[in-house]
Amino acid sequence: MRCRVNVLLTLIVLTSCSHPHDWNAIFKDPRLYCSVVHDLNRVVMGNNFSPIVASRNYMYAAVAGYEVIAAGYPSQYKSLAGQLSGLQKIPTPTDSIDVELASLLAYCQLGQAVTFPKGTMEKLMDSLKTMARDHGMPTDVYDRTLAYADTVAANIMRWSRKDHYLETRRAPQYVVKDSAGRWQPTPPAYSVAAEPHWNRIRCLVLDSPSEIMPPPPYAFNVTDPKSAYYQEVKKIKASTDSLTPDQKAIAEFWDDNPFRLNVYGHLKYATKKFSPPGHWMGITGIAVLKSGADFPKAAAAYAETSIALFDAFIQCWNVKYTYNTIRPESVIDKYVDPNWRPHLQTPPFPEYTCGHCTISAAASEALSHQFGDHFAYTDTTELEFGIPSRSYTSFRDAAKETMVSRFYGGIHYYYSCVEGNDMGTRIGATVVSRIQWH
């Protein structure tokens, strides 16, 4: 986080010297919103939140930031109160405030409230407040702005506490059973199953965790070469054993493993990257800047994308722990080749259906709604991790590549990737159809 704060502090120093009385304009720059989202992204990554829990971190912060915008520009944007499950009407400001600064502060407050350790975004908030004072914001406007940010943040926090998250922290751990076709922990970490009770989390837009379901997975069968399951095992092994350089690049670009465990003899260490929802937060920022969106549009784009991601995780995790399907790595190691390894590290949860495929397709629908069906862009999100950028003709084009990336990585059967993409598309389309933004 420190590097992002330093970037913002540099911006404060440079702009304060040249424009000391432009408080009414300085916070309207959408790059500030993108910057605080990126800062939360690094907090989430640094504190080892799973991709599933990360979707919750991003969503509550984004809704808080957006609700300030809806209150400040009621003729342009509708509140999400009454549209998201359980979200009640939030008080509107009674006098003039700096809407954008309040939005940034509300975002940061929720961002640090649903992460840890305490105060993870405090320095960033202090920097924003310093920027306001240095740019001549009147004391009364400043005080009202901070008070309104506190009001919105408090309301969103009360709402968040009723989403059953704390109950899932106390739920029993997943029980591993040695039965044919059932999920088993995978190397190298052999971690416990991640978030087996996530289907208890309150949905935002969809009616229930099972509103959108894929067909059942193929029946486990490694004895009949003609069975659909056997053919999938054969297909993924053949693909992984003969990947082209481009296929490897695709798999690695969309790997998004937030905690890869590297093992060299007795030496073990982790390398971190943004998780799948964090990657899509990065893509949202790229779209905001390329499109020339203003600050309110940026807040709306992050909110819709994070809502789609959040509901997609709930739907997908309900499927995963309904069927508890075994991973290709476990199947191939036991029945085909004990020395086989996938190109990517297998994540710790059941195989069907593909999570990254599901949430990426959902996010692509939200972003297509915000920026258009044919929004071409170059994804530079992974550059800070030393991974070259890739270009896409649309958000759905990127989601389709995500779909095949998990197959190339050797961690999902091809049909599971296809079903995940289809499921995510339907989830995203449902979110788009049920929320009114204007």
Burial class (CB in 10 A: 0-12, 13-18, 19+), 170: exposed
408 conformational bin, left if phi > 0, alpha if psi -120 to 50, beta if neither: alpha
Burial class (CB in 10 A: 0-12, 13-18, 19+), 204: buried
Whole-number pLDDT of residue 184: 97
Burial class (CB in 10 A: 0-12, 13-18, 19+), 93: middle
Return the residue matching tokens 């508890």: 324
Cis peptide before 378 (omega within 30 of 0): no
User: How many angstroms from the chain centroid is the CA of residue 299?
Assistant: 15
The 8-class DSSP code of residue 385 comes to: G
Return the residue matching tokens 């229930």: 208
Q: Where are the domains of the chain?
A: 2-163, 175-200+203-434
The token pair that represents 20 in the structure block: 């000391």
| 2-163: CATH class | mainly alpha
d(CA 321, CA 197) in angstroms, rounded, equals 8
Beta strands in 311-401 (DSSP E): 377-379, 390-392
d(CA 319, CA 53) in angstroms, rounded, equals 17
- The end-to-end CA distance of the chain, in Å, is 34
The token pair that represents 323 in the structure block: 């069927």
65 within 8 A of 303, measured Cβ to Cβ: yes
Give the pTM. 0.96
Q: 175-200+203-434 is classed in which CATH architecture?
A: Orthogonal Bundle (1.10)
The identity of residue 229, as a single letter, is: Y
Phi, psi of 326 (to 5 degrees): -70, 150
Whole-number pLDDT of residue 259: 94
Classify strands 390-392 and 260-264 as parallel, antiparallel or unpaired: unpaired
Whether 2-163 and 175-200+203-434 share one fold: the answer is yes
**Using CA of residue 22, residue 24, residue 25, residue 29, what is the dihedral sign?**
positive
The identity of residue 298, as a single letter, is: A
Whole-number pLDDT of residue 71: 98
Helix H or strand E segment including 261: strand 260-264
d(CA 280, CA 293) in angstroms, rounded, equals 17
If one counts every other C-beta atom within 10 angstroms of the C-beta of residue 27, the result is 23
Whole-number pLDDT of residue 119: 85
Q: What is the dihedral of CA 217, 221, 227, 231, to 10 degrees?
A: 80
Ranges of residues in the chain whose predicted pLDDT is under 70: 1-19
Distant-in-sequence, close-in-space partners of 323: CB < 8 Å, separation ≥ 6: 216, 217, 350, 352
d(CA 294, CA 284) in angstroms, rounded, equals 13
Return the residue matching tokens 């969309």: 254
Whole-number pLDDT of residue 12: 47
d(CA 386, CA 401) in angstroms, rounded, equals 20
